[in-house]
Structure 1
């Protein structure tokens, strides 16, 4: 590039009629030089801004207290400042990641279609996958419901016992309030009240219900720590509120109690178990002259193909919870007729033959209960490099649930070639655990217990 200095050094005789044009050219070159210098500096500043775009703001959950009438008090100035920063982003239609008791959520104001659309574009989420709306109080819930709608006795019992908490309920949707993008055009809307103090406080400080799926790229394992969100969405969102690891570790249970038969249909098992719901309903209806509702679990007690094609709640239609490496479910329960289980050694032999890996060694992640009787038989094969992530005791499924997604994400970052997950009994939290594992796994194999 010619510079102004270079132009001044070269002496070229020119006619007087051309001198003005030459001076103009020199001045123009000088202006261009300064403009380019400014542009490069500005570009560098913008790149630095983008690299540091995602702030992680720590929040102290113990500093947040809700009164009996759902008023929030926040004693930590740092936590209050973080919540106000996040609320400001939400009001500017920027999605914010925040902790809940289930998993970290990616929130936007639920009453604004433009804000909610940012969730879909950030995650790469299909438009026909509806969102769950989060509220901070019963009062906020009432503002979202149709005027003439009254809660059923079943819903009253479930809200009384499990809200705030990991339970989502389907309600009739008031489409004059809630945009179709939230419900995927369905006549119902899924709503819950989170129990995590940071989540509930964020909703209260924003003074608006928040639509929020899990804060991850669509199809990946749900994040249960702020670092999981940062590893996935760094630079795509402005703020992550760090409230520590999630207590439950799996998404909320979704209940549909809107059918005329009065029965409770569990569309997605989660943080509240089928046994918990049954106990509350049995106790609640025992003193009234009314039949106790049946509890029906989707794909266990009933199947609705139309519902799976046009879901009313997340987690029903698409494959979810899958890391970037293959996941195989190891089944140790009785195999169905016609399926011959493999011995552990035969299973590993097949793995080595079928899974692409480096010439040196096959790296396999083990996501298994701490007291697994299968693990010893597997790790005796020293030709495989094992990466263990103990989940907890089989007798403590709540702990296994809490560690499941963390284990999938940790083993993925460890660079394993494959993750093996051992089956757990489908009782209590085990039902939700196996729901997630079956969706994450690309294959399964029955294995004989030594």
Structure 2
């Protein structure tokens, strides 16, 4: 029986009641769908980890309704350098930006994987903003899928792999961005990009008065440590079960039997004929369209019982940086290629 419900006022009130009682609710955001729990309730948050089979060292993002509600997750007052950094980007909220700040006292260890910082954002999706305004607590919400699998961008995707512990899936339509939020750590020593996403690194670098290279100067061994600063930092992530090969410029393409192709723009008929199935994400190669449709195409081809999936690549600039980050992590386990 489907747990997908329309995002009516009645259903939003019911979702608030479920969350208040410690249940889990899948929610739409402008990036991907999230699996939400009361962020102040350690027992409820523990269910997220159980349902997703998520490793306990992988922290969660906490969603709040407004800048005034950041105090629900963050320790205040902020140090002056951090306060200035937040002021430089706070007008990007609501939106696909997550900032890592000192953790507030009401946020339990399980949310932050024991870190003394917390990842927080204000989503721009009207359904989830309405739900957050109804709740007296913030919502901890990673993507609503099995850990390491392709993130969901529709309500129907959320049903795949989530058990009956999820009480409701609120339908907010397809996600606008299709890739997760950008994560930036704000610190007295300076801001650092932890994960590229819906807000381009170039935009943030300009706000902070830094070069993109400086903004991205994070310890090279951060992914090798057991303690992750933020979600989305594992080397293997967003992965379909089908093997993936990325098609970099100059790659000699050998197409095995029963191979699918995800193309970033329209292909010549001769190229299409080499593949069992082809998904074209944008007729013109528009990377915003590519990002929006990428995860849905990955899921679709992963269910087509293919031998492997070939995927186009792009320059890692702007939204292309987030696309390539996701694709490289998705392909990390496909070492046979």
TM-score if structure 1 supplies the norm length?
A: 0.70
Q: 1:317 to 1:219 in 2, by over 3 A?
A: same
- Residue in 1 aligned with 2:107? 178
Q: Contact between 2:314 and 2:324, CA under 8 Å: does it hold in 1?
A: yes
Q: Secondary structure at the match of 2:23?
A: coil
Quick check: which one's helix share is greater? 1
- Residue in 2 aligned with 1:7? none
Of residues 367, 378, 384 in structure 1, which corresponds to 2:262? 367
What is the CA–CA distance in structure 2 between the aligned matches of 1:234 and 1:311, rounded to whole Å? 26
Q: Secondary structure at the match of 2:156?
A: helix
> How many correspondences in the alignment?
333
Is the aligned partner of 1:190 residue 2:152? no
CA shift, 1:377, in A, is 5.3
CA shift, 1:234, in A, is 5.2
CA shift, 1:203, in A, is 1.3
- Residue in 2 aligned with 1:426? 316
Superposed, 1:287-366 pairs within 5 Å as 292-296=209-213, 301-306=217-222, 308-309=224-225, 310-317=227-234, 319-332=236-249, 341-342=251-252, 344=253, 347-348=254-255, 351=256, 362-366=257-261
Q: Contact between 1:253 and 1:269, CA under 8 Å: does it hold in 2?
A: yes
Of residues 199, 216, 231 in structure 2, which corresponds to 1:272? 199
CA shift, 1:145, in A, is 2.5
- Residue in 2 aligned with 1:72? none
Q: Contact between 1:265 and 1:296, CA under 8 Å: does it hold in 2?
A: no
Return 5+ residue gaps in structure 1 as ranges: 1-51, 60-78, 282-291, 334-340, 352-361
Is the aligned partner of 1:408 residue 2:335? no
Q: Secondary structure at the match of 1:255?
A: strand
CA shift, 1:208, in A, is 1.2
Return 5+ residue gaps in structure 2 as ranges: none
Q: Secondary structure at the match of 1:238?
A: strand
- Residue in 2 aligned with 1:436? 326
Q: Contact between 1:397 and 1:429, CA under 8 Å: does it hold in 2?
A: yes
Is the aligned partner of 1:165 residue 2:89? no
CA shift, 1:279, in A, is 3.6
What is the CA–CA distance in structure 1 between the aligned matches of 2:330 and 2:98, rounded to whole Å? 22
Cα distance per residue 1:386-443 (max 9 Å; x no partner): 2111111565211100011010011122332221111111111000000000011134
What is the CA–CA distance in structure 1 between the aligned matches of 2:223 and 2:279, rounded to whole Å? 36
Is the aligned partner of 1:56 residue 2:4? yes
- Residue in 2 aligned with 1:73? none
Is the aligned partner of 1:119 residue 2:9? no
Q: 1:377 to 1:233 in 2, by over 3 A?
A: same
Q: Contact between 1:401 and 1:429, CA under 8 Å: does it hold in 2?
A: yes
Is the aligned partner of 1:155 residue 2:82? no
Q: Contact between 1:108 and 1:115, CA under 8 Å: does it hold in 2?
A: yes
Q: 1:183 to 1:305 in 2, by over 3 A?
A: same
Is the aligned partner of 1:85 residue 2:14? yes
What is the CA–CA distance in structure 2 between the aligned matches of 1:444 and 1:431, rounded to whole Å? 22
- Residue in 2 aligned with 1:218? 147
- Residue in 1 aligned with 2:282? 392
What is the CA–CA distance in structure 2 between the aligned matches of 1:266 and 1:223, rounded to whole Å? 24
Q: 1:302 to 1:141 in 2, by over 3 A?
A: closer
What is the CA–CA distance in structure 1 between the aligned matches of 2:292 and 2:329, rounded to whole Å? 17
Cα distance per residue 1:247-267 (max 9 Å; x no partner): 00000000012142x3x3110
Q: 1:293 to 1:331 in 2, by over 3 A?
A: closer
